[in-house]
Amino acid sequence: MKFLDDKSYELLCVSMAEKDYGEAFRAAHTIKGVCQNLGFTKLLESSSLLSDALRNGWTPEADTLIGQVKEDYRITAEAIREFQKSCGGR
């Protein structure tokens, strides 16, 4: 699935680590849009909250919210990989 090929999540993690909150906002916003289109509700919710928290730069909530996005992304990616395996790697 193309979702796993998208680099927005990687960009988000790197940007947060480098304290580039403008780029982190853009990445979180992209993840939010992709999740909305694909119906990934849990990751949509956490990325939306993070996007809102970063809209005007760093906020104290952003550090907590990035952890939730990471967990939701891990769960989503794992579910996609399991689905792909069950479909013969398609």
> What are residue 56's phi and psi, to 5 degrees?
-115, 25
pLDDT band at 1 (very low <50, low <70, confident <90, very high): low
What pLDDT, on the 0 to 100 scale, is given for residue 89? Answer: 60
For the whole model, what pTM was predicted? 0.92
Domains in the chain: ranges and CATH: 2-86 (1.20.120)
What pLDDT, on the 0 to 100 scale, is given for residue 88? Answer: 77
Q: How far is CA 9 from CA 20, 25, 86, in A?
A: 14, 11, 25
Alpha helices in 18-86, H assignment, sequence order: 21-38, 41-54, 60-86
13-62: pLDDT as tens digits = 999 999 999 999 999 999 999 999 999 999 999 999 999 999 999 999 99
Evaluated on CA atoms 73, 45, 36, 27, the torsion sign reads: negative
* The dihedral formed by the CA atoms of 45, 61, 70 and 73, expressed in degrees to the nearest 10: 10
Max Cα-Cα span within the chain: 44
pLDDT of 66 > 90? The answer is yes
pLDDT of 4 > 80? The answer is yes
